[in-house]
Amino acid sequence: MDADATPAATDPHTSDAVIVVDHPLAHARLTTLRDRRTDNAAFRGALADLTQMLIYEALCGAAEDPVGIETPLVTTTGSRLATPPLLVPVLRAGLGMVEQAHAMIPESNVGFVGIARDEETHEPVPYLESLPTDLSRTPVFVLDPMLATGGSMVHTIGLLAGRGAVDVTAVCVVAAPEGIAALATCSPPVRLVTAAVDDGLDENAYIVPGLGDAGDRQFGPR
């Protein structure tokens, strides 16, 4: 390896654990989300579209079971997902991703985690946990548009690990390098599927350039 080359594992754009969906349609929806002039309804629409693309990518290579079927002409073999993932939106902002994710994987079950953020300390403040007790044989997709400090995601991974989860994917619209670094410390190891790795966080722990408060932009200010 060239002495100046960055090792793959430390570069979020090339790490196996970080998958960036790089597609013109994803770029276009992300632009709509970033634009401050986008109203709440258009924001929710673009978030739903982009969620579809992220879920499509997150399921790439998922295990399949063969299914015998009959076409109008012959008997043949099709397939279905062997183990549909549990979908876990992190409330409030993850709510805008769950309907579309569930539409794509209708056989999935859905759990919920609610985490507010303390605006002074930027620490996660958990207020809801509704998850199956045993996740040892279930892949889990955690849905949260923004991976900022990683505090909410790391808390959620801890809840899942406590229920035996070993196969966890974080599905996020925008990720900050700080959040990716926090995810790298998690056990079990977490795969990230995102539409963008942004520059970093500002002094209020908002992602820059980012898209603002993903909850407020969907549902209005609290």
Q: Which of residues 139-158 bind ligand URA (CB under 6 A)?
A: 146, 148
First to last CA, the chain: 51
**If binding is defined by CB under 6 A, does position 88 make contact with ligand URA?**
no
Length of the chain: 222
Question: Among 32, 49, 92, 213, which one carries the catalytic annotation?
Answer: 213
Least distance (Å) from ligand URA to the CB of residue 139?
Answer: 25
Question: Among 11, 121, 134, 202, which one carries the catalytic annotation?
Answer: 121
Task: Find the part of the chain contacting ligand URA (CB under 6 A) among 74-82, 128-136, 156-164, 206-214.
Answer: 206-214
Phi-psi region of 205 (alpha: psi -120 to 50; beta: other; left: phi over 0): left
170-198 b/e with 16+ CB inside 10 Å = b?
bbbbbbbebbbebbbebeeebbbbbbbbb
* Calpha distance 84→138 (Å, rounded): 8
Number of residues lying near ligand URA (CB under 6 A): 9
Nearer to ligand URA, 165 or 197 (CB): 197
- In the complex, which residues of this chain contact ligand URA (CB under 6 A)? 93, 146, 148, 206-207, 210, 213-215
